[in-house]
Structure 1
Amino acid sequence: MKTPKRIQPLIEEGLVDEVIRQLMSGKEATVYIVRCGNEIRCAKVYKEVTQRSFRQAVAYQEGRKVRNSRQARAMEKGTRYGRKMQEEVWQNAEVDALYRLAAAGVRVPRPYHCFEGVLLMDLVTDADGHVAPRLNDVELSEQRALEYHAVLLRQVVLMLCAGIIHGDLSEYNILLDAGGPVIIDLPQAINAAGNMAAEPMLERDVANLTGYFSQFAPSLAGTRYGKEIWKLYAAGLLTPDTPLSGQVEPDGKPADVDAVLHEIERVRKEEEARVQRTREAAPAGKMFS
């Protein structure tokens, strides 16, 4: 096929020899199957922020590091340079997460290079060498659903022990290769210790898994693994081998309503400031919603 413009620099640098075909187009990127020497890999081409349906929400950006204070100020002000830095941070988040998670034993695609907004990584395949199916495309027995659910809970724990929460985990970004589930799509991954929204994001990831697998294994419907995992993590008791029951004893403490309202107000003000910066940076006569 014709080489996409964004992949051309990788060919010129000798990182890619041939683009075989487009694999899929998602909310934040288009993925191509490519040949690199004798290896078949995939190239994830990130979409520009104006083309993505998954926006860089404030909650996902919190706790992400930039190289220096100049970049941080530019990102805060929403300048052209700042927006460029935001894109770089967004893309690097997935690369960094993949390397850290692979080292921690999490089943993720192996990354090779990220060059000019294109991430080169392993192509996940099934036992026959075909492109691995997504979890939501596979019919499961009750036993297999319970098995995959347990495997993925352990992967979530491994991720959390490595300091990372996926942030958008569901049956749509889990592939099934010959060895079982493989977790993909991590540009929205967050720092568990540096993000105030870490707890609800972790619980949402786990709830997504439970909700999906309970269609095949109804016994999962009443479990509370997300709360259990976070409670163990917050207490410093979570390890990759910690046994889980899916149940949590109530702590009897009243909800901190003031803290919740304060966080909501903080996020609202940040979003208002972002919108105002966008309007100020827009060309005359052009309005943004």
Structure 2
Amino acid sequence: MKTPKRLQSLLDEGLIDGVSRQLMSGKEAQVFVVQCGGETRCAKVYKEATQRSFRQAVDYTENRKVKNSREARAMAKGSKFGREKQEEAWQSAEVDALYRLAGAGVRVPKPFNFFEGVLLMELVMDADGSAAPRLNDVQFTPQQAWAHHATLVQEVVRMLCAGIVHGDLSEFNILLAADGPVIIDLPQAVDAAGNNHAKRMLLRDVENLRNFFGQFAPDLLRSDFGHEIWALFERGTLTPDARLTGRFVHQNRPVDLRGVMREIDDARDEDSARRLRMQQQ
């Protein structure tokens, strides 16, 4: 096929030898199958912010560090330069997460290179050597559902032990490779310790897994791995090989009304500041 414009620079630099076909086009990127020195890989081409439908919500970008103070100020002001740097930070977040998680033994596509907004990584394949399908395109027996659910819950634990919460985990961003599930799409990954929304996101990730596999194995719908995992994490006793039960006893405590009101006031102040910045722009 004709080489897409965004991939031409990689061809010129010798990072790829050719483009075979487009694999998919999503809300934030296009993915192409490419040839690299006799190997088949994939190239994820990030769409520009104006062409994407996925919002870089403040929940995801909270506490992401920017080493350059000038860039940080520009991003806070929302200037054109700042928006460009925010876009770069959004893209590099997935690259950083992939390298970090691969090093922690989490099953994610192996990253190879990141060049001018294009991420080169492993092409995940099924048993027939074709591009692996997403979970939502596959039917499972109850036994398979239990097995894959257990595998993915353990992957969530490994991610959390590495300090990362996926933040958008579901059957739509997990591939079923020949050797089991592979987690993809990580630009919205958050710092488990530094993001105030990390717990909510982890519980949602685990709930998504439960609800999907619960279609095939209804007994899973009674499990509560999310709260169990987070409780161990908060106590500092979570390990990559933690043995989980899927059961959790919730403690009924008096509601901290003052704390709730502080959260509401903080959210109102943040919204007012955001609106003011928009008016100034």
Report the TM-score, using the length of structure 2 for normalisation. 0.96
Partner of 2:79: 79
**1:168 is aligned to 2:202:** no
User: Structure 1 261/172 Cα, relative in aligned 2: closer, same or farther at 3 Å?
Assistant: farther
Moved more, 241-250 or 190-199: 241-250
**1:156 is aligned to 2:127:** no
Partner of 2:146: 146
SS in 2 for 1:182: strand
SS in 1 for 2:210: helix
User: Structure 1 112/255 Cα, relative in aligned 2: closer, same or farther at 3 Å?
Assistant: farther
Separation in 2, partners of 1:261, 1:142: 45
1:209-288 map, 5 Å: 209-278=209-278, 280-281=280-281
Separation in 1, partners of 2:32, 2:252: 51
Alpha-carbon deviation of 1:278?
4.3
User: Structure 1 48/259 Cα, relative in aligned 2: closer, same or farther at 3 Å?
Assistant: farther
Match of 1:52, as an amino acid?
R
**1:111 is aligned to 2:111:** yes
Match of 2:144, as an amino acid?
R
Partner of 1:136: 136
Separation in 2, partners of 1:5, 1:275: 37
Match of 1:187, as an amino acid?
P
Number of residues of Structure 1 aligned to a counterpart in Structure 2:
281
Match of 1:146, as an amino acid?
W
Match of 1:221, as an amino acid?
L
Alpha-carbon deviation of 1:267?
4.1
Partner of 2:33: 33
Alpha-carbon deviation of 1:179?
0.5
Partner of 2:179: 179
Match of 1:138, as an amino acid?
V
Identity, in percent, stands at: 63
SS in 2 for 1:45: strand
1:88-99 map, 5 Å: 88-99=88-99
SS in 1 for 2:126: coil
Partner of 1:69: 69
Match of 1:262, as an amino acid?
R
Partner of 1:194: 194
Check the 8 A contact 1:165/1:192 in 2, yes or no. Answer: yes
Match of 1:105, as an amino acid?
G
Partner of 2:50: 50
Structure 2: gaps of 5 or more residues: none
Moved more, 129-138 or 259-268: 259-268
After superposition, the C-alpha distances for 1:220-257 in whole angstroms (9 at most, x for unaligned) are 11111111100110011110111111111222323434
Moved more, 238-247 or 136-145: 238-247
Separation in 2, partners of 1:124, 1:260: 45
After superposition, the C-alpha distances for 1:50-92 in whole angstroms (9 at most, x for unaligned) are 2211110001001211122211111100011111110111011
Report the TM-score, using the length of structure 1 for normalisation. 0.93
SS in 2 for 1:139: coil
Separation in 2, partners of 1:271, 1:114: 35
Moved more, 156-165 or 61-70: 61-70
SS in 2 for 1:101: helix
Partner of 2:16: 16
Separation in 2, partners of 1:20, 1:123: 12
Check the 8 A contact 1:145/1:216 in 2, yes or no. Answer: yes
